[in-house]
């Protein structure tokens, strides 16, 4: 099977989407004869080129980070290029991978509905969506993200063998849906730790103090 | 009230949309609101590239000096922001989404728990109410409305109202004061 993978991270260099995809692809290619075509989209010309590759592809995985609860603007530019293909992609398989910073899957559920609707409007077969939160740091700390990457590998492997996503596997991977079951007190302490150990450290590295990080340059 | 309209219509030949926005502006001004209308397609705005400069290096300020500053200032000064866009591929235009993404400098990286899920600390004390105005040309648009609403309702500062260009501008003008 040949899978065309579109990476829509707007970053110029290394990106979390790409790292997650690497693991997925390793799993996918465990099955002999599985082939991957990678399409990177992060500038105007690449969205146009990607639309041509999309039209020619048999099976597609569109991967990107969640930006303000939806696709990044650039990925929307790509989708707008597909307008002439509405209703004309009969038989094309299309799946998605959406990863993001917040931990809970619920952040991407609105978008999921949209992507499914769009896929059907193109008359593609909707394969499903891999949703994974908590991915902010994976390109900086691959070791710390071992579980996340292993999960992507397993999903790729299953997809490579069965040629369809396993819904149960995807749901398990996306959990938790929300944090209701967690103790809010524990969560607050955890966030304080992340703020202190991660964000404050990043400020410092850039010569920004705790106070100046709260700057309000456009206050009225 | 101060009202900011961001016109996310990418197509200059879709004049009906632009003239609807112009009518709306006049109707709002007639009721003594102070209205600013920014035509996004006339600006050369970059897409956000996720570099986090606005959080980590120059807090509150984007790495691109391409006119986004004026939009952010107008945004914060407004009581109500009307994000407006034709529906393209069942969603708001990439042009409008671009500005959505570029609002990142208005937030702060620190995490907080809000409604049982992760959220970010707000940089400013006061934010405008955000609303969406979509066109409504084709038979599929009803469903798009619901999908777009579903996504926007999840967003940090929420969505106060969603309007359609099928409504007459006086109706929206009346509703603005009550959101
Ligand atoms: C403009 C912008 C908007 C974002 N919006 C969200 C969001 O709504 N929810 C979320 O959990 N993460 C959000 N993020 C974080 C990214 O989804 C996260 O860092 C992701 O791992 C980046 O992937 P990449 O490295 O492949 O670009 C946003 C990041 C940026 C720059």
Over the stretch A180-195, which tens digit does the pLDDT of each residue have?
777 888 889 999 999 9
pLDDT classification of A178: cutoffs 50, 70, 90: confident
Tell whether A144 and A189 lie within a shared domain: no
- To the nearest whole Å, the CA of B110 is away from the closest chain A CA by 5
Mean pLDDT of each 10-residue bin along chain B, 179 residues long: 98 97 98 98 98 98 97 97 96 97 97 84 95 84 87 81 94 95
Residue B46: CATH number of its domain: 3.40.50.360
What is the rounded average pLDDT for all residues in chain A?
96
Does this complex have an ipTM over 0.85? yes
| Pairing assessment for the beta strands B117-122 and B107-114 based on DSSP bridges | antiparallel
Answer whether A188 sits within 8 Å of B113, measured CB to CB: yes
A216 and B60 in contact (C-beta within 8 Å)?
Answer: yes
Range(s) of the domain holding residue A65? 2-174
Q: Which residues line ligand 1 (CB under 6 A)?
A: A 9, 11, 15-17, 65-69, 99-102, 107, 135-136, 139; B 48, 50, 101, 104
3-class SS of residue A3: strand
Tell whether A203 and A130 lie within a shared domain: no
User: How much is the pLDDT for B116?
Assistant: 75
Residue A179 has pLDDT above 80, yes or no: no
User: How much is the pLDDT for A109?
Assistant: 94
Residue pointed to by tokens 């995807």? A170
3-class SS of residue A131: strand
Q: Which residues of A are less than 8 Å from B73 in CB distance?
A: 218
User: How much is the pLDDT for B139?
Assistant: 66
Residue B103 forms contact with A (CB below 8 Å): yes
* CB-based burial label for A205 (10 Å; 0-12, 13-18, 19+): exposed
Answer whether B117 sits within 8 Å of A214, measured CB to CB: no
What domain count does chain A have? 2
Angle between helices B15-30 and B169-176 (to 10 degrees): 50
Token reading at B120: 């970010």
For residue B127, count other CB atoms closer than 10 A to its CB: 18
Q: What part of A 156-215 touches B (C-beta under 8 Å)?
A: 178-180, 184, 187-188, 191, 194-195, 199, 202-203, 205-206, 208, 212-215
The answer to whether residue A179 is domain-embedded is: no
Give the helix, strand, coil percentages of chain B, each rounded to 5.
Answer: 35, 25, 40
Chain B residue with CA closest to A201: the answer is B56
Mean pLDDT of A73-80: 98
**Contact partners, residue B75, CB within 8 Å, separation at least 6:** B4, B81, B103, B106, B128
- A137-155 pLDDT, tens digit per residue, is 899 888 889 999 999 999 9
Tell whether A27 and A7 lie within a shared domain: yes
Tell whether A161 and A58 lie within a shared domain: yes
What domain count does chain B have? 1
φ/ψ of residue A146, rounded to 5: -50, -45
**Contact partners, residue B125, CB within 8 Å, separation at least 6:** none
Residue A89 forms contact with B (CB below 8 Å): no
């Amino acid at each position: 099977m040949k899978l065309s993978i579109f990476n829509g991270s707007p970053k110029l260099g290394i990106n979390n989407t790409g790292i997650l995809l690497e693991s997925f692809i390793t799993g996918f290619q465990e099955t002999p004869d599985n082939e991957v075509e990678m399409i990177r989209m992060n500038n105007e010309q690449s969205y146009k080129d990607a639309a041509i590759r999309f039209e020619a592809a048999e099976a597609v995985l569109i991967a990107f980070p969640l930006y303000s609860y939806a696709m990044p603007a650039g990925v929307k530019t790509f989708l707008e290029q597909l307008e002439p293909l509405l209703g004309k992609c009969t038989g094309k398989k299309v799946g998605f991978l959406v990863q993001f910073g917040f931990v809970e899957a619920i952040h991407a559920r609105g978008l999921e509905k949209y992507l499914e609707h769009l896929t059907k409007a193109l008359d593609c077969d909707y394969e499903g969506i891999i949703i994974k939160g908590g991915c902010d740091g994976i390109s900086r700390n691959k070791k710390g993200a071992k579980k996340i990457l292993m999960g992507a590998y397993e999903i790729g492997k299953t997809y490579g063998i069965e040629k369809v996503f396993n819904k149960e596997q995807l749901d398990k991977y996306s959990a938790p849906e929300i944090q209701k079951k967690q103790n809010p007190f524990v969560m607050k302490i955890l966030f304080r730790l992340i703020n202190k150990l991660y964000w404050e450290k990043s400020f410092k590295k850039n010569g920004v103090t705790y106070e100046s990080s709260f700057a309000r340059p456009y206050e009225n | 009230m101060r009202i900011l309209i961001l016109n996310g219509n990418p197509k200059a030949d879709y004049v009906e949309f632009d003239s609807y926005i112009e009518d709306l502006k006049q109707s709002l001004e007639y009721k003594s609101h102070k209205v600013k209308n920014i035509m996004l397609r006339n600006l050369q705005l970059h897409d956000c590239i996720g570099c986090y400069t606005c959080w980590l290096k120059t807090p509150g300020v984007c790495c691109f000096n391409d006119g986004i500053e004026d939009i952010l200032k107008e945004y914060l000064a407004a009581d109500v922001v009307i994000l407006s866009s034709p529906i393209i591929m069942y969603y708001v235009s990439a042009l409008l989404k671009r500005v959505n993404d570029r609002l990142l400098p208005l937030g702060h990286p620190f995490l907080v728990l809000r409604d049982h899920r992760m959220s970010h600390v707000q940089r400013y004390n006061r934010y405008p109410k955000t609303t969406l105005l979509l066109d409504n040309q084709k038979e599929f648009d009803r469903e798009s409305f619901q999908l777009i609403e579903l996504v926007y309702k999840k967003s940090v500062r929420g969505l106060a109202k969603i309007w359609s260009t099928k409504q007459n501008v006086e109706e929206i003008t009346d509703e603005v004061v009550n959101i």
